[in-house]
Homo-oligomer: A and B are copies of this chain.
Amino acid sequence: MSQMSGDAVGVAMIGHSFMGAVHSHAWRNVHRFFDVPRTPRLTVLGGRDERRTKEAAARYGWDSVETDWRAIIARDDVDVVDICTPGHTHCEIAVAALAAGKHVLCEKPLANSVAEAETMAAAAAKAAREGVHSMVAFNYRRVPALALARRLIADGRLGTLRHVRAVYLQDWLSDSESPMTWRLRKEQAGSGALGDIGAHIVDATQFVTGDVLTGVSGLTETFVRERPAPGGTEEVTVDDCALFIGRFSSGAVASFEATRYALGRKNAMRLEVNGTRGSLSFDFESMNELWFCDGDDPSETQGFRRIVVTEEDHPYVGAWWPPGHLLGYEHTFTHEVADFLTAIGTGEPASPSFADGLRVQQVLGAVESSAAAGSQWSDVLPGT
């Protein structure tokens, strides 16, 4: 009865905390809903602690474990490497995996620095010439409402874009006494809110507009400079929030804010785009809705429409339930994995590419440069 066949691909996933749980779910279920050309086999789970990795493998349905990522890359039964580790490890693992001919799905942000991202993008470009695929896991591109937003903009429904505004508001660090984590150490996380959630809104706005940021002016702040840690306190070495304004190549102006201190906002990743013909608005806390104002409507009946993005003709939605039955957070990963398997099966390039990930990294780098130089305007350097 198994649907798996000769076209199966062996998947290895490295890392098994939050992202590992949700990626596992996607790999385990994707072919139950999407007609993917390759069926994933959950071949091996990688983690440093053998006992905990075995527990996770049993929990999430992986066939085996490895404690050394190099051993994973060396395995013949592994076709795909899915990197769910902290950012400072991405570059080394991804470059080695690509060199070994493995398709690579890498969590975001692509890297902790522009230099690393450049190395990875170059490795991905080289691998692509050998038919090896790579993708950076900006899963919010797979929210149906945001995929619909991109489609409407690409179809010209907004006309020429003038304004982009995006915030990503969380509050899980609002309590000054919440403990230290790796996400607050520069050497592991690269940056704080900027790289973790700011990266999402930079990518999402570039995705829905089909355009790129060319320059920014920003500031960052660290509100809580020490946090409880085993044996006392530990210094926080990343930003707690980042605010920046910028310009897109089209001439649209933009504003961005990323913070984990917006008390009461749990996951408010919000976008609004205003053009000459229409406007779009989105809030991830209501992720099944897209608000669209059609400027072609007469003023008597013009207004933002609450589109419940659960219709069969909406992106990704046809694979799931009838209209009005909401999707959740983890569906975005299932969509992501479906798209990646489709790229592998068809040979078409996967998107977002490592070059797209680099583009985001360059924006984050420009924000950091600007913030370090009194908010002075900082151009986003062209990608390699």
Contact = CB atoms under 8 A, between A and B. Distances in A.
A308 B167 CA distance: 18
A307 B302 contact: yes
A6 interface: no
A234 interface: no
A103 B275 CA distance: 45
A58 interface: yes
Interface residues of A, number: 105
Interface string A269-299: 0001011111100001111100011110101
Contacts of A243: 245, 253-255
Contacts of A231: none
Contact of A253 (B167, B241, B277, B331): B241
Interface string A228-243: 0000000000000101
A144 to B, nearest CB: 11
A69 to B, nearest CB: 19
B304 A257 contact: no
Contact of A293 (B172, B264, B299, B310): B264
Interface in A162-177: 162-163, 165, 167, 169-172, 174, 176
A346 interface: no
Contacts of A321: 18, 22, 329-330
A278 B175 CA distance: 11
Contacts of A310: 266-267
B22 A32 contact: no
Contacts of A28: 28-29, 32
Contacts of A301: 152, 157, 292, 294, 305, 307
A12 interface: no
A261 interface: yes
Interface string A311-352: 111100000011111111111000000000000000000000
A192 to B, nearest CB: 14
24 contacts: A1-B57, A1-B62, A1-B63, A1-B65, A32-B60, A148-B300, A152-B301, A165-B167, A171-B274, A174-B274, A255-B255, A263-B276, A266-B323, A267-B310, A267-B323, A299-B311, A299-B312, A301-B307, A302-B305, A304-B305, A305-B306, A328-B331, A370-B375, A375-B377
